[in-house]
Amino acid sequence: MKAARQPLRDRDFYPDDYTDERDTTEVPNGVRLQKVLAQAGVASRRACEEMIGDGRVTVNGQVVRRFGAKVDPATQVIHVDGKRVPTAPDLVYYAMNKPIGVVSTMSDPQGRPCLADYVEELAPRLFHVGRLDTETEGLLLLTNDGELANRLTHPSYGVQKKYWAKVPGPIPRDLGRRLKQGIELEDGLVKADSFAIVQEHGQQALVEVVLHEGRKHVVRRMLEVAGHRVIDLARIEFGPVKLGRTKAGTVRALTLKEVGELYAAVKL
């Protein structure tokens, strides 16, 4: 019967009434799907074959159960358990702990330290995802995946960034409420998604600010308008990626899980 020839479909990509009698994912002279997954770091080739057999893998939205399926890792979108797997061989993803004094550009006409001093040998044409001002340290993402970089910085996707700021204390009880209600800056209202006091000691305090805004110096400006000049500032999280124990001035490759979560955060 015709219904028996219908391939399984991922409902996130196809409506329930979609019909197609052929498997449209096969690419002549492509690479075997289990090999692509294994090379991407999903699991061993044998384990990837089991995932395929269990219907956990989709290619361009279509569930593929054939062990011999051939795909194009550079152009087709592959998900495992609903999370996208980066399979294009030339795409790279890094996290850097940018030190204070480093400019968030790949070159600087004034000769100041810049990102290229740390990453120029990793891959050609890396994009830095957003910026950190020269006096701010912390997590910066770098990739040559232009679509992902653009979405991560676009405000419509609401990807949150978490900052720790050292400010003069004590902290009034209403500061969090004021920041979440909104602070009026010269370029418009800005609201914190959340606020917490991490530590208070004497005349200084460490506070946590989470927001999805990407305006220049936005954390410094909103805290200053609220009456708390920023002494030191660091970004410790960007979406699902955490700075963790990455030392200042060092760069690490993102894990497969982190990349998949970044894709999910921007609906890729």
**Residues acting as catalytic residues:** 133
Rounded CA-CA distance 170/39 in Å is: 53
C-alpha separations of 243 from 95, 154, 248, 259 in Å: 8, 21, 10, 14
Rounded CA-CA distance 181/191 in Å is: 6
Rounded CA-CA distance 200/207 in Å is: 9
Rounded CA-CA distance 192/209 in Å is: 7
* Burial class of 22 by CB neighbour count within 10 A (0 to 12, 13 to 18, 19+): exposed
